Amino acid sequence: MSTAAAHDDHHHHAPTGLKRWLFSTNHKDIGTLYLWFSFAMFMTGGLLAMVIRTELLEPGMQFVDPEFFNQMTTVHGLAMVFGAVMPGFVGLANWMIPLMIGAPDMALPRMNNWSFWILPFAFLILLSSVFMSAFGAGNPAAPNFGWTFYAPLSTEYGPASTDLFILSVHMMGISSIMGAINVIVTVFNLRAPGMTLMKMPLFVWTWLITAFLLIAVMPVLAGAVTMMLTDRHFGTSFFNAAGGGDPVLFQHVFWFFGHPEVYIMILPAFGIVSAIIPTFARKPLFGYASMVYATASIALLSFVVWAHHMFTVGMPLAGTLFFMYMTMLISVPTGVKVFNWVATMWRGSMTFELPMKWAIAFVILFTCGGLSGLMLAITPVDFQYHDTYFVVAHFHYVLVSGAVFSMFAAAYYWLPKWSGVMPNKLLGELHFWSSLISVNLLFFPMHFVGLAGMPRRYADYALQFADYNFWISIGGFWFGLSQLLFLAVCVLCAMKKGEKAPARSWEGAEGLEWEVPSPAPFHTYDTPPVVK
């Protein structure tokens, strides 16, 4: 991608070297930065997960102590949610939204630069606590209270590094909000003539709705960590029962952010899959309008289901019933989406290139995660499932074989547009099959140990869980190593090694992004295209 500047036929010279990336206001360069950053965090979070899986390979403590284990589960979750998945989707939005709606760039390019460059520093702050814990004198603990940082474990009992965590979360929040504002302004103001809202590709639609969710809930997260900060240092008692506060309030505030957050991490995935399946089925997307309405209703419902994460805190019966019914209701629009994808494939003329393989794997495995989510919604049974590995299996199915798989699909689909060369087929096939098998070996048995009663975030477990945990760990190492193949694919593309890609890189691909050459020139759509 570094030679993209060479194609620049514009009158001014794009800066080169480090300056090009540091001061970039170009949506393509910033998108590239986001994507590499996301991949780096994916590998970092993965490395922490490997520590977890090594410790859980056998019963007993053999590799790290339980305190360090808790730090690993915490930072793994934070790195994956805030470092890998969210920036990954923002990167895709940066690259693709202007190309898809015929805009010359994002509407607020300088803010775009800032919203990216905050992130590496936010994670430097967070990860510094892990380095200090692993290598520093006296091993000061890194955040060790789980990515959900429930009070009072994170407030009165939190380690000193909690303050680093709070600062880091604030920075991530600012970055996300700026990114979201940029998407909304771009979509509402920079669409090419004729690109009406109901003509926009679904990826743009899902991102527009995601951006509204981000603006609504990131300030709530910021509020939660600010209350933590004042509880820790300024004598307030928001979450301290001894001071008249309420530890359960923390969970309500956190999950009011946290539940829309899980849709923030999956709605763009719906958009990606809705772009890829029609391309390779050579048939228009089934039910475009109903897809838009389903996305919007999922987003609205996401604000009234938060307490299903906390059924066991002891809510009144009426509250419990309300949240159970609302949660079950979410499966209706989600089901509509899955049925629409199947109907798009039906009587199409399908071929199974790499993006299509990932997209179909997404549909199937995400549905598995959705169905276990429906099981979790049934409150009396959730009293058994809650906080066991069944929950861990559920959210890894929707987040790894869901969100992450959709990003792989997107990468294989748009890499030709980004780099100008087709991704390496052999490595890509290996990466797909290896990931597909290992991800199931890794996460499917978690359903079993969870049902059998293994609580999550356990550094050690009773003997009847031993066999499955062994195989889960093997699956984990295998899945982790498989991702090096993806790194190789990306590096080859970045080095322009491979078959040259035509402008319309996939035979059935539709949309404005395929009208510009591959790789996409540094500046596109200086004069807007006309959409009929």
Partner 1 sequence: MQSTLFHRAAVGLTSLMISGMAVASDWTERSDHNLRPGVTGVSQEVYDLHTTILWIVTIIGLLVFGLILISMIRHRRSKNPNPSTFHENVFLEVLWTVVPFVILIAMAVPATRVLIELDDSSKAELTVKVTGHRWKWEYEYLTYEDDNNVGVSFMSNLATPMEQINNPVLAGGLFPYGTAQDAVGSEFPEKDKNYNLEADKPLYLPSGQKVRFLITSADVIHSFWIPDLGGKKDAIPGFVNETWAIVPEGKEGTYYGQCAELCGKNHAFMPIEAKVVSQDEFETWLAERKEEAAAAPDLTPFADLDEAMELGEQTYAGACAVCHGNNGQGGVGLPFAGSDFATNEEHLEEHIDVLINGRAAMPAFGAQLSPREIAAVVTYERNAWGNDTGDLIQPQDVQDHE
- Which residues belong to the active site? 76, 105, 147, 175-176, 259, 261, 263, 274, 308-309, 334, 337, 456
Residue 405 exposed, middle or buried by CB count within 10 Å (0-12, 13-18, 19+): buried
Helix (H), strand (E), coil (C) string for 291-305? HHHHHHHHHHHHHHC
Q: Which is nearer to partner 1, 103 or 361 (CB)?
A: 361
Applying CB under 8 A, which of residues 212, 448, 478, 522 lies at the interface with partner 1? 448
Shortest distance in whole angstroms from residue 217 CB to partner 1 = 23
The answer to whether residue 463 forms part of the interface with partner 1 (CB under 8 A) is yes
Contact criterion met (CB below 8 Å) for 10 and 523: yes
Angle between helices 317-345 and 267-281 (to 10 degrees): 20
The answer to whether residue 295 forms part of the interface with partner 1 (CB under 8 A) is no
Total number of residues that touch partner 1 (CB under 8 A): 103
Stretch that binds partner 1, among 30-38, 180-188, 284-292, 298-306 (CB under 8 A): 284-292
Q: Would you give the distance in Å from CA 126 to the centre of its chain?
A: 18
The answer to whether residue 461 forms part of the interface with partner 1 (CB under 8 A) is yes
Q: What x-and-dash track marks residues 43-62 binding partner 1 by CB under 8 A?
A: ---------------xxxxx
Applying CB under 8 A, which of residues 349, 426, 527, 532 lies at the interface with partner 1? 349
Q: Which is nearer to partner 1, 181 or 336 (CB)?
A: 336
The answer to whether residue 184 forms part of the interface with partner 1 (CB under 8 A) is no
The answer to whether residue 453 forms part of the interface with partner 1 (CB under 8 A) is yes
Stretch that binds partner 1, among 137-145, 206-214, 420-428, 485-493 (CB under 8 A): 137-145
Residue with tokens 């780096």: 40
Cα 466 to Cα 50, 347, 384, 488, distances in angstroms = 17, 46, 20, 35
**Is the bond leading into 152 cis (omega within 30 degrees of zero)?**
yes
Binding to partner 1 in span 197-226, by CB under 8 A: none
Residue with tokens 């429930």: 150
Token digits for 415? Answer: 């890499």
- CB-facing half-sphere around the CA of 219: CA atoms within 13 A: 7
Q: Which is nearer to partner 1, 8 or 510 (CB)?
A: 510
Q: What x-and-dash track marks residues 366-385 binding partner 1 by CB under 8 A?
A: -xx--xx-xx--xxxx-xx-
Shortest distance in whole angstroms from residue 244 CB to partner 1 = 9
Q: Which contiguous run of DSSP H or E holds residue 476?
A: helix 466-494
Query: Collapsing DSSP states into helix, strand and coil, what is residue 455?
Result: strand
Helix (H), strand (E), coil (C) string for 158-196? CCCCHHHHHHHHHHHHHHHHHHHHHHHHHHHHCCCCCCC
Applying CB under 8 A, which of residues 163, 387, 510, 515 lies at the interface with partner 1? 387
Q: Which is nearer to partner 1, 360 or 421 (CB)?
A: 360
Applying CB under 8 A, which of residues 362, 458, 506, 525 lies at the interface with partner 1? 458
Q: Which is nearer to partner 1, 134 or 304 (CB)?
A: 134
Token digits for 460? Answer: 């050690």
The answer to whether residue 233 forms part of the interface with partner 1 (CB under 8 A) is no
The answer to whether residue 451 forms part of the interface with partner 1 (CB under 8 A) is yes
Shortest distance in whole angstroms from residue 441 CB to partner 1 = 7
Shortest distance in whole angstroms from residue 30 CB to partner 1 = 34
Q: Which is nearer to partner 1, 184 or 375 (CB)?
A: 375
The answer to whether residue 63 forms part of the interface with partner 1 (CB under 8 A) is yes
The answer to whether residue 185 forms part of the interface with partner 1 (CB under 8 A) is no
The answer to whether residue 76 forms part of the interface with partner 1 (CB under 8 A) is no
Cβ-based neighbour number of residue 467 at 10 Å: 12
Contact criterion met (CB below 8 Å) for 407 and 89: yes
Binding to partner 1 in span 308-327, by CB under 8 A: 312-314, 317, 320-321, 324-325
The answer to whether residue 352 forms part of the interface with partner 1 (CB under 8 A) is yes
Cβ-based neighbour number of residue 5 at 10 Å: 17
Q: Which is nearer to partner 1, 59 or 120 (CB)?
A: 59
Stretch that binds partner 1, among 6-14, 123-131, 357-365, 495-503 (CB under 8 A): 357-365
Stretch that binds partner 1, among 21-29, 161-169, 237-245, 252-260 (CB under 8 A): 237-245
Q: What is the dihedral of CA 470, 475, 481, 483, to 10 degrees?
A: -150
Applying CB under 8 A, which of residues 254, 408, 465, 525 lies at the interface with partner 1? 465
Cα 65 to Cα 78, 106, 131, distances in angstroms = 20, 47, 16
Cα 314 to Cα 35, 148, 532, distances in angstroms = 42, 18, 56
Contact criterion met (CB below 8 Å) for 519 and 418: yes
Residue with tokens 């049902």: 451
Tell me how far apart the alpha carbons of residues 34 and 226 are, in angstroms, rounded to a whole number. 27
Applying CB under 8 A, which of residues 6, 160, 342, 481 lies at the interface with partner 1? 342
Tell me how far apart the alpha carbons of residues 334 and 343 are, in angstroms, rounded to a whole number. 14
Q: Which is nearer to partner 1, 143 or 420 (CB)?
A: 143
The answer to whether residue 336 forms part of the interface with partner 1 (CB under 8 A) is yes
Cα 292 to Cα 180, 288, 339, 496, distances in angstroms = 19, 7, 14, 37
Token digits for 7? Answer: 């194609």
Shortest distance in whole angstroms from residue 276 CB to partner 1 = 14
Stretch that binds partner 1, among 79-87, 115-123, 226-234, 282-290 (CB under 8 A): 282-290
Contact criterion met (CB below 8 Å) for 276 and 282: no
